[in-house]
């Protein structure tokens, strides 16, 4: 199928869940993929599995809150492959506390990963994409970047901010033929929703979803693949909602 054949991609948070699924699909569709995460053993395992299948992948440790680490990873990809066509800002963390229970420490930690990490990723790759006058950046927001819900105050704040940051950057970099879009997953069956399961709120979430199942990481990966490919060459500043109909209610 090779929908992104010859392209070079960086995927953050690629050790498991959505990020791993996105990295696998991009590789299987022809991209050379740099998988990044702070979970080194798990990330290397995913990259090595893909290498054994014949795909061109590499793993690099990346703390998305660290600008120096971003520069090191991006420069390494440029040296290895000569370009960067795709950035998937997938890394994120979840905190379930509501406004009153969210400490400043929790607030700052969630913002640093979910929002500052996206900002730093774009800031680091954009100079290279400007030079080549092409590129696709996909930022992971959430349905809670579109609608409100009780609890998870810091998480939801970051996802709303990612949505608007994406649109702002899309306008700024459109003259360089760089496309920047956001994906908005619903409740996806990944390790991140462990807190929802523990809180006993999963049945309530499922009741609000039109399609009677949880989403899978692969559901999101196919949306990312579309935005990464030339099939979406006239799509920028857009919100791709993949939520089983949750936000239609």
Q: What amino acid positions are annotated as catalytic residues?
A: 155
Closest CA to 92 of 148, 157, 46: 157
The CA-atom distances, in angstroms, between 174 and each of 148, 183, 187 are 30, 18, 31
- Inter-residue contact 93 to 136 (CB < 8 Å): no
Query: What is the C-alpha separation between 124 and 93, in angstroms, rounded?
Result: 21
Closest CA to 190 of 44, 14, 61: 14
Query: What is the C-alpha separation between 145 and 13, in angstroms, rounded?
Result: 19
> Three-state SS for 58?
strand
- Inter-residue contact 11 to 33 (CB < 8 Å): yes
Query: What is the C-alpha separation between 215 and 242, in angstroms, rounded?
Result: 8
The CA-atom distances, in angstroms, between 29 and each of 7, 8, 96, 155 are 10, 11, 35, 32
Query: What is the C-alpha separation between 180 and 44, in angstroms, rounded?
Result: 28
- Inter-residue contact 221 to 18 (CB < 8 Å): yes
Query: What is the C-alpha separation between 156 and 243, in angstroms, rounded?
Result: 16
């Amino acid at each position: 199928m090779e929908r992104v054949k010859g392209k070079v991609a960086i995927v953050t948070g690629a050790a498991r869940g959505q990020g791993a699924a996105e990295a696998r699909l991009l590789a299987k569709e022809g991209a050379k993929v740099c998988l990044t995460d702070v979970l080194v053993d798990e990330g290397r395992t995913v990259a090595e599995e893909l290498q054994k299948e014949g795909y061109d992948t590499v793993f690099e440790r990346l703390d998305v809150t660290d600008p120096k680490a971003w520069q090191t990873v991006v420069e390494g990809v440029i040296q290895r492959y000569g370009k960067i066509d795709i950035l998937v800002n997938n890394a994120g963390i979840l905190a379930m506390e509501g406004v009153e229970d969210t400490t400043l420490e929790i607030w700052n930690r969630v913002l640093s990963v979910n929002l500052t990490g996206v900002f730093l990723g774009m800031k680091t790759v954009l100079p290279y994409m400007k030079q080549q006058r092409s590129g696709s950046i996909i930022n992971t927001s959430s349905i809670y970047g579109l609608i409100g819900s009780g609890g998870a105050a810091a998480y939801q704040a970051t996802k709303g901010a990612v949505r608007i940051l994406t649109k702002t950057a899309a306008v700024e970099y459109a003259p360089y033929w760089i496309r920047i879009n956001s994906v908005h997953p619903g409740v996806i069956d990944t390790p991140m929703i462990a807190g929802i399961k523990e809180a006993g709120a999963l049945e309530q979430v499922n009741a609000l979803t039109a399609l009677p199942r949880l989403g899978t990481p692969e559901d999101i990966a196919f949306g990312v693949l579309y935005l990464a490919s030339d099939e979406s060459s006239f799509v920028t500043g857009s919100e791709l909602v993949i939520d089983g109909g949750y936000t239609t209610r």
